[in-house]
Chains A and B, each alone.
Chain A
Amino acid sequence: MEHILLSHGSGGRNSQKLLKFIYDCLGSIVINHTEDSGIVTLQTDKLAITTDSYVVEPIFFPGGDIGKLAVCGTLNDLAMVGAIPKYITLSFIIEENFPFADLRKILHSIKKETENAEIEIIAGDTKIVSKGKMDKMFINTTGYGIVEHSLEINSKNAQPGDAIIVSGDIGDHGAAIMAYRNDFQSDLISDCASVVLLIRKLLDESICIHTLRDPTRGGLASILNEIVIASSVDIELNETEIPIKDAVNGICDVLGIDPLYMACEGRAVIICPEEEVNKILRILKKTNEGKNVCKIGSVIDKCSNPRLYLKTFIGSRRILPLLSREQTPRIC
C-alpha cells in the first residue's frame, strides 16, 4: 500500500485502513474518533470560530507543508481575535494515487503544530477524488478558541494616532513559494508559523490592542486596505521602516511583484495606541518569531474616503491600492 486508491474513500475495508493510518500518525491528539460527531465541553461564554480551506502548490515548500500551513493558518485566525485555540477539525480531500509517504509527512507536521499549540482534533473527514480532477491535496479546517479578554479587537477599531506594528519580516512565504516554483536558487524559507504565543504574551501583559490581522493572501497592503475601509481612517506606512529581507526584495524585483502584497503565513499586524509601542517591541523582541518586530506606520485621521498611503524612501507619498487580479511575473 504505497499510494491512495479510490477505494480508500469507498467506506469499506480500505477506508478503515486509511483512517487507522491517520490515527496512528496523529496519536492521542485526536479525540472521539469513533463517533460521527465529536462532543466537547467548553467553559466560556465567548467562543471564536474560524474556517478555512488550504490549497498550496507545491504542497511541500521550503519551511513547511500544507499540513503545517493548515494548522498554523487556523491558529493564527483564532489568535487575530485574541482567542486561545482549543480545538480544530480537519477535512482532507486527496487525489487518487497520492503517496502514503507524503501523507505521513503531512500528518506529522499537523501533529507537531497541534501539540505545540496544545489543541485537540475533534472531528475530521477524508474524501478521495479521481486522478486529474484536483491537485494532490486540499485541507479544510475549522478552529475553535475561547476569548477571555475584554478588549474590542477588530478591524473597525483602528483609531487616529494608533501605531501600526508588524511582528517580523514580510513576504517570506510568498517569495519562498515563487522562488521554488521558478527554480530560483534561494535560501529563503516560508515564515509559516503560529503567532498564538506572541499574541498570548501581549494579552498576558494587559497590552491594549485595537486591531489584529495576519497578512496572508494579498499581504500587508491588502489587509491594511481592509482595515482602512472598516475603520474609516487614513493610514500611512513608512517604506524605510518596513522589514523586508534582501532575498525577498530580490525575488520580487526579478519577477516584478510587490512584496507589500506578498503573503506571510506567520506574521501579525498589530494596531494599538502609540503608548503601547515600546512595551510591545520589548516583549516581542525577546521571542524567536517576533525578534524583527517593527513599528511601520501610524493611523492618521478619520476620513470618509479613507486611503492607505506609503511614505516612500525619498519622502514622497503615494497610495497603496487594493490589488487588482493576480500579480503575474513581468517580461522585461
Chain B
Amino acid sequence: MEDCFKNNPQLLSLLKKIDSKFDITPEFEDRYKFMEICGTHTVSILKYGFRNYFKKRINFLSGPGCPVCVTSQKDIDKVIALVQMGIRIVTFGDLIKVPGSKSSLEEQMALGRKVDVVYNPLDCLKIAADNDEEIVFIAVGFETTIPVTASLVLDAERMGFKNLSILPLMKTIPSALNFLLSNLENEIDGFICPGHVSVIIGEQPYRMIPEKYKIPCVIAGFEPVDIGLAIESLVSQIRKHTPIVDNRYKRVVKENGNISAKRLIVEVFEETDVEWRGFGKVPTSGMKLREKFSKFDAENKFNIKIKKFLEPKGCICGEIIAGKKHPLDCTLFAKRCTPDSPVGPCMVSYEGACSAYYKYGEP
C-alpha cells in the first residue's frame, strides 16, 4: 500500500501527462504560483524533487501551515514565562528549539527546567497522575491536533485533575485562508489544501476559494503520487478554467470530514480572534476554552502577562508564512539562520519552509 503511492511506475507516466499540459503555448509566459498550505506538503514537494522538476513552470509558495511557525513571538514568550515560573510543561518536540525574545525551551531545559516532549497530548494524563506539581500542555496545532486536545480536556475533567491545564495556542486553517485571500498581494494560481487538516474539516470549508476567488484547489496526500496528482489537477483546472475543490485524497478525506472529531472541538472550544506570526490578529481563527472548561486555561490560572517582546531582527518568517516572500529571499538564510542556530521558527520546525529548503536544498 505504502509503496504504491511512493515508488510507483505510474508516477512517471503521470509526470509525462503533466509535462504535456505544459507544452509551451503562447499563453504560457509566467510560472504558475501554487501555494501549498501545509508544511508537510512543502517537505514532500522538496524531498521528492518536485520543485526542481517543475522549476521552470511552477513557483511553489509555502503557506501558513506550520503550527510552530505561525505561533506569535508573544505566545512563544508565554511558554518560556511558564517554564521560568517552575511549572512543568508538556509540549510537542518542535517547540523546544524555537527562540523566544530572550530564551528558548531548549536553553531552559539545560538550566534544569521541567519540559516533557510528547507525541500524543493524552500522555499529559499520565504525567499529571505521576506528578503532584502543576502540568501545562502547550496546545499548538491546527484542526489535526485540536480534537485530541479537546479529548485531553474532557478526560482531565472526568478524572478530576486539578494540576493539569492547557495553554490554548490552537489555530484554524479556513479563517486563515479567508484572511490570506482578502489581503493577497500576489496572485495565487492554485492551492494545495492540507491533507491531515482536511481529514477533520472535509472539503466544504475550501469551497469559497473557487467560488469567490475563482482559484483552483486540490486536497492532496503527501506521497509522490499524491503530489503528482495534485499538480495534475491544478494544471487541468487552470487550463479548463473550471476552478473547484478537487479531492485527490479520498482514501482518507471524506466530503464532510470527521464529524465526531468536529463535535469534540465544538464541545470544548469556541472560536476567538488570535494573533498569527506574519498576519497579526486574524478574526475567529483561534480556539479558546468554553466557559465551563475555563479552569483548564493556563493563561488565566497562572496570570501570564507579556509586556514586551522582540521579533527576531532581520527575520522574514512572517512574510514567508504569508506567501509574500520565499526562504531564499531571506538574507539570514543558511548564513546566520540555520537549523543548528535558528533565528526564526520557519528554520526550526520540521514543517517550516526554511528548514525544508535548507534540508532538501537542490543542486
Contacts and interface: CB of A to CB of B under 8 A. Distances in A.
Contacts of B40: 256, 330, 332
Contact of B363 (A309, A328, A330): A309
B252 to A, nearest CB: 13
Interface stretch (A46-54, A126-134, A313-321): A313-321
Given A246-B1, A250-B2, A332 B48 contact: no
The binding surface of chain B is classed by DSSP as: mixed
Interface string A111-143: 000000000000000000000000000000000
A324 interface: yes
A316 B362 CA distance: 10
A328 B38 contact: no
B67 A331 contact: yes
A312 B52 CA distance: 11
Given A250-B2, A314-B49, A319-B361, A329 B92 contact: yes
B119 interface: yes
A316 B44 CA distance: 13
Contacts of B66: 332
Contacts of B49: 310, 312-318
Contacts of B53: 314-316
Contacts of B120: 182-183
B68 interface: yes
A325 interface: yes
Contacts of A331: 67-68, 92, 94, 140-141, 144-145, 349, 351
A213 interface: no
A253 interface: yes
A326 to B, nearest CB: 8
A6 to B, nearest CB: 24
A312 B225 CA distance: 12
Interface of A is mostly: loop
B52 A318 contact: yes
B150 to A, nearest CB: 16
Interface in B187-224: 194, 196-197, 222, 224
B281 interface: no
Contacts of A183: 120
Contacts of B97: 325
A245 B170 CA distance: 35
B339 A332 contact: no
B38 A318 contact: no
Given A316-B52, A331-B68, A332-B196, A324 B350 contact: no
A274 B67 CA distance: 47
Contacts of A255: 119
B180 interface: no
Nearest to A184: B119
B48 A256 contact: no
B339 A324 contact: yes
B39 interface: yes
Contact of B48 (A316, A325, A328, A330): A316
Interface residues of B, number: 55
A307 interface: yes
Nearest to A310: B49
B6 A330 contact: no
Contact of B340 (A307, A316, A324): A324
B154 interface: no
A30 to B, nearest CB: 40
B265 interface: no
A14 interface: no
Interface string B1-30: 111001110011001000000000000000
Interface string A300-311: 000000010110
A325 B339 CA distance: 7
A321 B359 CA distance: 6
A309 B49 CA distance: 11
A205 B174 CA distance: 64
B279 interface: no
Given A246-B2, A321-B359, A332-B145, A182 B48 contact: no
A319 B363 CA distance: 6
A292 interface: no
A317 B52 CA distance: 7
Nearest to A255: B119
B117 A318 contact: no
A321 B361 contact: yes
B35 to A, nearest CB: 16
Nearest to B197: A332
19 contacts: A255-B119, A256-B350, A258-B47, A307-B363, A310-B49, A314-B224, A316-B48, A316-B49, A318-B47, A318-B363, A321-B359, A321-B361, A325-B97, A328-B93, A331-B94, A332-B66, A332-B67, A332-B142, A332-B196
The 7 lowest CB-CB distance pairs between A and B, nearest first, are A316-B49, A328-B93, A324-B339, A312-B49, A246-B2, A330-B350, A316-B53
Interface of A: 182-183, 239-240, 246, 249-250, 253, 255-256, 258, 307, 309-310, 312-319, 321, 324-325, 327-332
Interface of B: 1-3, 6-8, 11-12, 15, 38-40, 43, 46-50, 52-53, 65-68, 92-94, 96-97, 117, 119-120, 140-142, 144-145, 194, 196-197, 222, 224, 228, 338-340, 349-351, 358-363
Given A246-B2, A314-B11, A331-B67, 9 more contacts: A249-B6, A314-B15, A318-B49, A318-B52, A321-B359, A325-B340, A328-B96, A331-B94, A332-B197
